[in-house]
A and B are shown apart, each in its own frame.
Chain A
Amino acid sequence: MSTLTKTKRPRGNIGTFLARRIFQSVIVILIVTLIVFSLLHLALPQGPALGVLGMQATQEQIDAFNHKNGFDLPLWQQYLNFLWQLLHGDLGASFTLNKPVSVAIGQRLPKTMALALIGMIVALIVAIPMGIYQATRRGKIGDVALTAWNFVIYSTPSFFLGLILVIVFSQWLRWFPAQAPQGSTVGEVLANPAGLVLPVLTMALGIIATFSRYMRSATIDNLSEDYVRTARAKGTSVTVVVTRHVVRNSLTPVIAMLGYYLPVMFGGMIVVESLFNYPGMGLLFWTAAQTSDYPVLLGCVLIIAIATVVGSLLADLIQALLDPRTRGELA
């Protein structure tokens, strides 16, 4: 039955959708760089010179540094220079690492992605069945206990959680090392799985707490849908109704959340990587922030911004793929 308050829903095909989203993404990334660029200069109006050269630096050294890096130019010109370099794929050179930012990030990014991916997969393998289990036993002791546990984990800061894990599993039980594997390539890092256990666990616990909640509420929502009743009336058992009908429909919003969760996860990576001294992007970002390494900071922020927009784009696409209703009307 139609009502007076019906709203029009925009539609478009997948090509125009992608084109529009990519255009939007470029704008978003530009705005992010502008904001970060401005913030850096607001926070340190005198520039990064002191941080890079040390407190004992003379005024001449500082002036020379500023002139060499273009920090004596007006701010808008500095920003345009940054963009111009960016257009040529040049992120500038690190002040402290003696190498181009792109090289530094290129070395670190794969390792961070590997750790994030492993953490995410481990977390989802636990969180999704946990959410389904809780939803199907809603209000019973198992659900209540897991809810309580997840709330405790969720409200514990991850650096504290990581410290506890280190004390318990590394210092008391001596099962796993407290230091993450060091190495310059992903292969070298993965060659030492024992060292990865605690960083992965620290990351995964938080993700499990978050995503088992999402999965639980999505499953509960779906269990009350009419189609579940229809399936039950066909003589399909409860277990099969859940696995065949409910899980797929409940996963759709959870997977969409995953895309939007990427930036949150990167924030977590900074903590985990510095806690376990893991040679990834997070640690790079952390050290760059402490040493006022502007080019590295800007480069990292750019990567995070790209990851964020790509993540949300992927989330929308996956959602469309899983749900036939949205296939025709992406926008």
Chain B
Amino acid sequence: MSSETTTAREPVLEITDLTVDFHTDNGVIPAVKGISLNLYPGEVLALVGESGSGKSVTSMAVLRLLPGTAKVGGTIRFAGNDLATLSEAKMNGVRGKDIAMVFQEPMTALNPTMRIGEQITEVLLNHDMCPKDQAWERAVELLGRVGIPEPERRAKGFPHELSGGQRQRVVIAIALACNPRIIIADEPTTALDVTVQAEILDLIRGLAAESNTAFLLVTHNMGVVADVADRVAVMFRGNLVEEGPAERVLLAPEADYSRRLLDAVPKLPEAAWSEIAGIAEGVPGQIVQIDGVVSEPAVDGATPGPGSEAALGQTSVRHDGATPVTEAEFARESGTEAALELVEATVQYTRKGATFTALDAVSLTIARGEIVGLVGESGSGKSTLGRAALGLAPLAGGHVNIFGQPVRDRALLNRRERAARARVGVIFQDPGSSLDPRMTIADCIAEPLVVHGWQGKRASSALRRKRVAELLDAVELPTDFADRYPHELSGGQRQRVGLARSIALEPGLIIADEPTSALDVSVQASVLAVLRELQERYGFACLFISHDLAVVHDIAHRVAVMYRGGIVEEGLSSEVLVRPQHEYSKRLLASAPSPDPVEQARRRAARAILAESVA
């Protein structure tokens, strides 16, 4: 944003010609091929790229935390000192004190058997930041500073008692403890829900501004970059391909790869923010101007705003397109029953005697040939809905029909119900672990054919092989992949195998649970393209569960927003994701970061207003 002003200052971190090679049994693998970067005080520098581009390796090289098989070349200077020349003891004096790190996985980054307070005092005492008897007090203070409620009580607790977002705050508290000059944050929000992600990013922005801390933010999420970064460095296969102010790189990328990377990011159309935020303010109809600058929202203190918790419980919103689009438009099959129909479906779990309603009388209909996106945060019940549709979650009330046949316990299925069940395909989130590592790709794909007795029980293996080849072709994989094993494939290729398997029986309905959330953006784009093409060719209906609003907008005809076990809003994607009516949908949309800095600024402004009306 301010390259002239930053170059005038001394960089706090200078990386020059950094190379990292991994020496493995299969020879030397270069991970970083000579990159140079400067980091200035008070700025947020985003290091972006896809998995394997070397961005995480670069950040670990700064702290000298790479495994012994890595050989590091070039120089990394911190405040004028070459970090490579420091002794291990001296380096330990730098780690956590001058350069701190926030890691990607908040769920595993903390020691599960150590009290949270102790994990913070450890870093304080390592660097003699305070006397021993005051360390605990400081730890509690830090927890309060990163926004953990009841810090005294939490300090005595253990990591598993906290949510993912709270754990990430603890990791940030550890990083902040010694007022470091640099914080390296490696995908700090990747594992978090969008609304939590937005809060963590706010925290980072605030810290960079307040305490002049320099952030090296490693991420693959262009929305995150647009939200917080001042400058961006783009990495591709170990090389730095582009570097510049965030706005310039995001709006007018110069390098070919940056452009491709940005193009692959699914984007939501510009939402009607003025309208949304205007309503959020509690004055229906009155439009608030939010063009970069937010006008002071006139919050009426006497009456609770419509964004309060009470208002979030408002009755669900159904747009004109809430009911399935007419048969004429979508029906490519004969028959009149919907592909999937949930009527007042309720799923409850009992835990410690208390009953937890995961799905609260939810009704949803998916017509044949229709893709319905299901969005919401973790714990909103969207996966439970998927499980209920598959007959994997016991219904406490209501009923679920697939092609007019009730879904019930497997043991009770009659022949017609079983036939209906065979018309449902499933795609799972993790392409790595949903394929049996000991089965060839051909066997993985052919499994549903065998299980459901495709072409009669005695279908010859030659016939099945032919079908597998057809399916591989359909998902645009070379047919000689049939004899390979899952570990020989990349994540995107494995997910295509998952796709091929799910369409093996030419299903009328596919249930896809976060099918692309584990993939890089460019890979995600190609997998989605294949899914869309298959859908057009075979005309199956699809329940597409995802937390990524832009992906859902891209692929789904209709969308349903879930919140606390219920559907709060339902309608055409182009309606719900542009002009959301329900408070929760608005918040969700405002929290989803956009790679367009201008749009992102609007979203942040809208989010601030929405948050204020809640408070």
- Do chains A and B interact in one complex? yes
Chain A residues with CB under 8 Å of chain B are 1-6, 8, 11-13, 225-227, 229-237, 244-245, 248-249, 252, 322-325
Q: Are B109 and A235 in contact (CB under 8 A)?
A: no
Q: Give the CA-CA distance A245 to B119 in the complex, in Å.
A: 10
Q: Are A235 and B97 in contact (CB under 8 A)?
A: yes
Query: Which of B103, B160, B514 has a CB less than 8 Å from the CB of A230?
Result: B103
Least CB distance from B80 to A in Å reads 20
Q: Are A235 and B93 in contact (CB under 8 A)?
A: yes
Residues of B within 8 A of A252 (CB): 113
Residues of B within 8 A of A11 (CB): 351-352
Given pairs A3-B430, A236-B92, 4 additional interface contacts (CB within 8 A): A2-B379, A227-B111, A235-B93, A252-B113
Interface centre among B101, B109, B171 (most CB of A within 10 A): B109
Q: Are A226 and B108 in contact (CB under 8 A)?
A: yes
**Cross-chain pairs A/B with CB under 8 angstroms, 9 sampled:** A3-B383, A5-B428, A227-B111, A229-B103, A234-B100, A235-B96, A236-B126, A237-B89, A324-B113
Nearest chain A residue, comparing its CB with the CB of B384: A2
Q: Are B105 and A233 in contact (CB under 8 A)?
A: no
Residues of A within 8 A of B100 (CB): 233-234
Q: Give the CA-CA distance A3 to B160 in the complex, in Å.
A: 19
Least CB distance from A218 to B in Å reads 13
Interface centre among A234, A236, A323 (most CB of B within 10 A): A234
Q: Contacting chain A: which of B196-204, B252-260, B386-394?
A: B386-394
Query: Which of A1, A5, A235, A323 has a CB less than 8 Å from the CB of B113?
Result: A323
Residues of B within 8 A of A237 (CB): 88-89, 92
Q: Are B174 and A2 in contact (CB under 8 A)?
A: no
Q: Are A322 and B547 in contact (CB under 8 A)?
A: no
Q: Give the CA-CA distance A324 to B110 in the complex, in Å.
A: 13
Contact with A along B105-133 (1 / 0, CB 8 A): 10011111110000100110011000000
Q: Give the CA-CA distance A4 to B426 in the complex, in Å.
A: 10
Q: Give the CA-CA distance A153 to B199 in the complex, in Å.
A: 57
Instruction: Assess A233 versus B101: contact at CB under 8 Å? Given A4-B428, A227-B108, A227-B112.
Output: yes
Q: Are B92 and A235 in contact (CB under 8 A)?
A: yes
Q: Are A324 and B126 in contact (CB under 8 A)?
A: no
Least CB distance from B196 to A in Å reads 12
Residues of B within 8 A of A324 (CB): 112-113, 158, 160
Nearest chain A residue, comparing its CB with the CB of B95: A235
Instruction: Assess A2 versus B94: contact at CB under 8 Å? Given A226-B105, A230-B174, A245-B111.
Output: no
Q: Are A227 and B92 in contact (CB under 8 A)?
A: no
Residues of A within 8 A of B428 (CB): 3-5
Q: Are A233 and B65 in contact (CB under 8 A)?
A: yes
Contact with A along B33-71 (1 / 0, CB 8 A): 000000000000000000000000000000101000000
Residues of A within 8 A of B383 (CB): 2-4, 6
Q: Give the CA-CA distance A225 to B114 in the complex, in Å.
A: 14
Whether B349 is near chain A, meaning CB under 8 Å from some CB there, is yes
Within 8 A of A (CB), among B469-514: 511, 513-514
Q: Give the CA-CA distance A200 to B95 in the complex, in Å.
A: 47
Residues of A within 8 A of B286 (CB): none
Q: Give the CA-CA distance A155 to B349 in the complex, in Å.
A: 49
Q: Are B387 and A4 in contact (CB under 8 A)?
A: yes
Query: Which of B111, B160, B547 has a CB less than 8 Å from the CB of A231?
Result: B111
Q: Give the CA-CA distance A234 to B383 in the complex, in Å.
A: 37
Nearest chain A residue, comparing its CB with the CB of B94: A235
Residues of A within 8 A of B126 (CB): 234-236
Q: Are A1 and B352 in contact (CB under 8 A)?
A: no
Least CB distance from B545 to A in Å reads 8
Instruction: Assess A232 versus B95: contact at CB under 8 Å? Given A4-B383, A227-B111.
Output: yes
Residues of A within 8 A of B390 (CB): 4
Whether B517 is near chain A, meaning CB under 8 Å from some CB there, is yes
Residues of A within 8 A of B119 (CB): 230
Least CB distance from B4 to A in Å reads 33
Instruction: Assess A225 versus B108: contact at CB under 8 Å? Given A231-B122, A322-B113, A325-B160.
Output: yes
Q: Give the CA-CA distance A249 to B159 in the complex, in Å.
A: 14
Contact with A along B533-569 (1 / 0, CB 8 A): 0000000000000010000000000000000000000
Q: Are B158 and A325 in contact (CB under 8 A)?
A: yes
Q: Are A230 and B171 in contact (CB under 8 A)?
A: yes
Nearest chain A residue, comparing its CB with the CB of B427: A4
Residues of A within 8 A of B384 (CB): 2
Residues of A within 8 A of B103 (CB): 226, 229-230, 233
Residues of A within 8 A of B382 (CB): 2
Least CB distance from A329 to B in Å reads 9
Q: Are A1 and B95 in contact (CB under 8 A)?
A: no
Whether B357 is near chain A, meaning CB under 8 Å from some CB there, is no
Instruction: Assess A2 versus B378: contact at CB under 8 Å? Given A226-B103, A322-B113, A323-B113.
Output: yes
Residues of B within 8 A of A249 (CB): 111-113
Q: Are B110 and A248 in contact (CB under 8 A)?
A: no
Least CB distance from A151 to B in Å reads 23
Instruction: Assess A4 versus B108: contact at CB under 8 Å? Given A230-B171, A233-B101.
Output: no
Instruction: Assess A234 versus B158: contact at CB under 8 Å? Given A1-B378, A3-B514.
Output: no
Whether B591 is near chain A, meaning CB under 8 Å from some CB there, is no
Residues of B within 8 A of A227 (CB): 108-112
Nearest chain A residue, comparing its CB with the CB of B389: A4
Residues of A within 8 A of B65 (CB): 229, 232-233
Q: Are B123 and A234 in contact (CB under 8 A)?
A: yes
Residues of B within 8 A of A4 (CB): 383, 386-387, 390, 392, 426, 428, 511, 513
Whether B213 is near chain A, meaning CB under 8 Å from some CB there, is no
Q: Give the CA-CA distance A233 to B127 in the complex, in Å.
A: 12
Least CB distance from B5 to A in Å reads 30
Whether B429 is near chain A, meaning CB under 8 Å from some CB there, is yes
Contact with A along B423-450 (1 / 0, CB 8 A): 0001011100000000000000000000
Least CB distance from B548 to A in Å reads 11
Residues of A within 8 A of B513 (CB): 3-4
Residues of B within 8 A of A325 (CB): 112-113, 158, 160
Least CB distance from A16 to B in Å reads 10
Residues of B within 8 A of A245 (CB): 111, 114
Within 8 A of A (CB), among B364-401: 378-379, 382-384, 386-387, 390, 392
Query: Which of B96, B113, B386 has a CB less than 8 Å from the CB of A248?
Result: B113
Least CB distance from A221 to B in Å reads 12
Residues of B within 8 A of A226 (CB): 103, 105, 108-109
Residues of B within 8 A of A5 (CB): 428
Least CB distance from B396 to A in Å reads 14
Q: Are B127 and A323 in contact (CB under 8 A)?
A: no
Q: Give the CA-CA distance A129 to B21 in the complex, in Å.
A: 34
Residues of A within 8 A of B352 (CB): 11-13
Interface centre among A1, A229, A249 (most CB of B within 10 A): A1
Least CB distance from B121 to A in Å reads 10
Residues of B within 8 A of A231 (CB): 111, 122
Q: Give the CA-CA distance A293 to B89 in the complex, in Å.
A: 67
Residues of A within 8 A of B63 (CB): 233
Least CB distance from B596 to A in Å reads 26
Residues of B within 8 A of A234 (CB): 95-96, 100, 122-123, 126, 174
